[in-house]
Amino acid sequence: MSDPFTEHKKLVIIGAGFGGIGMAARLVQSGERDFVLLEKSDGVGGTWWVNRYPGCACDVPSHLYSFSFAPNPNWSRRFAPRHEIQAYLEQCVRQFNLNGHLHLNRAVRTLRWDDRHRHWQIADQHGQTITADFVISAIGGLSRPGWPDIPGMQSFGGQVIHSQLWHGEDLKNQRVAVIGTGASAVQFVPQIAHEAKQLTIFQRTPNWILPRPDQAISSARKKRFARWPWLQKLARFGIWLIAECRVPGLMWSNRLAWGHRLLARRHLRRQIPNPELRKKLTPDYAIGCKRVLLSSDYYPALMRTNVELIDTPIACIEPDAVVDASGRRHTIDMLILATGFRATEPVPRGMIIGRDDQDLHQTWREGPQAYRGTNVTGFPNLFMLLGPNTALGHNSVVVMIEAQIDYTLKALEYMQQNQLVSMDIQPEAQRRYNDRLQRKLARSVWNTGSCGSWYLHPQSGLNTTLWPGFTWQYRWLMRRFRWKDFEFDSEF
């Protein structure tokens, strides 16, 4: 039989979000040209291309939520809106001449390791195929929408949309229900509250919410940053340092987060004068256990006469209503799901097949696990950006992504210098690394703070998403490629 895999590249990068574009840019900087960047959407940006709900923005200041090697002096606001972040990534594609490497509308369906040829076989949704010595997966941990399993969901007769799949829906004169009150909901609720005829918000767990200190960046400041880049670097460093100061309250003792707790309580008191509503919105778990939200307009939106917050659990959904556990029917025309993502199940079944036909989905059934969040035993020559336990509850993930990119470049350099064709992390090294990680996480507020969150795997209860510490600790860990922890093959 003839080999259907005709095109071969040294590297294939999957996903053109922060991870994929950052990796591609740094490859170009290092002189590497033999790679392609495959993106399933028809534009670049990853999460910032896909998520289009009103009010979508980043809750990490933009001067830190951007690449250290591609500073942008022109951010319009402290917290840039979605379209500006997406435009920044497009600008990076131009700046680093990535267009020739970028292939849009190419959704990778399967990645299969070929042990005989020691390369990956990659097939996309069009049936097109390619082989590669190395694959860098930058598909992100929050790209698969989480659909709630509520009785009667299928019977609903109106429109159902997930926050990630928003297409400019018209909410005028509609009675709308929103399920979920996490990071996405607090951004779009204030935007749609004045548009919908009636907005009913179903809250399962209240969140700790801090004021969002957003502001426009003056043109004088932008000019200063453009003229003296070190000034912008200093600003970035300051934002990073302040964010790092949150770690003790998350990792050492939650009592150290007293400042944020006071600030959040005062914010709630000031914005919600109604004691009954305030009670519904008061969390009963440790601050930081779930992601702390930033919003200055969510609470005021809940005070509107056309908005109602329901904290009674949902019993079922009927063709024209949501019925809560008290038996009350909330008649609606449209349902918006702000129910988050399948963060603990980031890889679909059958997508990544490693040595001995191992399906990564199956390997991770007790929760995703990797070595340094980047390599997985049995999946040679595969690097993951934002893999297991590299998400953050306190700082910019771009800092983590850059650490992983640098690490991957070092690993590739080592392979090339030593004329090696494949590398696989030793099972014992991966186990040791994760045992240590889980021991640290066991003491953290995410595991002990008496809340449920997407950080924890629903079956094993393990925290498979967050990095347990300061970002500098991760950078320090990733400063060297520890070849002793890997098995290598040098010849066919």
**Positions in the binding site for ligand NAP (CB under 6 A):** 58-60, 142, 148, 150, 163, 179-185, 187, 202, 204-205, 291, 314, 338-341, 452, 454
| Closest distance to ligand NAP from the beta carbon of 455 (Å) | 9
Cα–Cα dist 448/464, whole Å? 15
- Beta pairing, strands 321-324 & 314-318: antiparallel
Q: Least CB distance from residue 412 to ligand NAP, whole Å?
A: 29
Closest distance to ligand NAP from the beta carbon of 234 (Å): 23
Q: Among all residues, whose Cβ is closest to ligand NAP?
A: 182
Judged by CB, which is closer to ligand NAP: 106, or 330? 330
Quote the least distance from Cβ 228 to ligand NAP, whole Å.
Answer: 28
Q: State the Cα–Cα distance between residues 309 and 203, nearest whole angstrom.
A: 7
- State the minimum distance, in angstroms, from the CB of residue 13 to ligand NAP: 22
Query: 339 vs 430, which CB is nearer to ligand NAP?
Result: 339
Closer to ligand NAP at the Cβ: 35 or 79? 79
Give the residue with the Cβ less far from ligand NAP, 36 or 268: 268
Q: Which two tokens stand for residue 450?
A: 């008496």
CA distance 335 to 179: 8
The angle formed by the CA atoms of residues 118, 96 and 407, to the nearest 5 degrees, is: 45
User: Which is closer to ligand NAP, CB of 179 or CB of 332?
Assistant: 179
In this structure, the strands spanning 159-162 and 329-331 are: unpaired
- State the CB neighbour count (10 A cutoff) for residue 37: 27
Two structure tokens written together for 89? 């990534």
- Of 163 and 447, the one with the shorter C-beta distance to ligand NAP is 163
Report, in Å, the least distance between residue 141 CB and ligand NAP. 9
**Of 385, 403, 399, nearest to 66 (Cα)?**
399
The two three-digit tokens of residue 273, written as one number: 């004068």
Shortest CB 335 distance to ligand NAP, Å: 12
**Contact of 208 with 290, CB cutoff 8 Å:** yes
Q: How many CA atoms lie within 13 A of 85 on its CB side?
A: 28
Contact yes or no for 365/355 (Cβ under 8 A): no
Of 350 and 452, which has the nearer Cβ to ligand NAP? 452
| Rounded Cα distance, 91 and 25, in Å | 11
What is the rounded distance in angstroms from the CA atom of residue 277 to the CA atom of residue 131?
Answer: 57
Compute the least distance from the CB of residue 149 to ligand NAP, in Å.
Answer: 6
Q: Which is nearer to ligand NAP, 81 or 354 (CB)?
A: 81
Kindly give the residue spans of alpha helices, DSSP state H, lying in 273-422: 275-280, 298-302, 360-363, 397-417
CA-CA-CA-CA dihedral for 287, 288, 293, 295, to nearest 10: 40
Residue 48's contacts (CB-CB under 8 Å, 6 or more residues apart) are 17, 82, 85, 86, 89
Residue 394 beta carbon to ligand NAP: minimum distance, rounded to whole angstroms = 11
Min dist CB 40 to ligand NAP, Å, is 19
Closest alpha carbon to 68 in 32, 142, 31, 18: 18
Select 396 or 430, whichever has its Cβ closest to ligand NAP.
396
Rank residues 254 and 453 by Cβ distance to ligand NAP and give the closer one: 453
Q: Tell me how far, at minimum, the Cβ of 423 lies from ligand NAP, in Å.
A: 31
Contacts of residue 114, Cβ cutoff 8 Å, sequence gap at least 6: 120, 121, 131
Residues 12/112, Cβ–Cβ less than 8 Å: no
Q: Cβ closer to ligand NAP: 408 or 453?
A: 453
> Among residues 243 and 353, whose Cβ is nearest to ligand NAP?
243
Q: Is 329 helix (H, G, I), strand (E, B) or coil?
A: strand
CB of 134 to ligand NAP, least distance (A): 28
* Residue-by-residue DSSP string for 211-256: -----BPPHHHHHHHHH-HHHHHHHHHHHHHHHHTTHHHHHT-GGG
How is residue 358 written in tokens? 């191992």
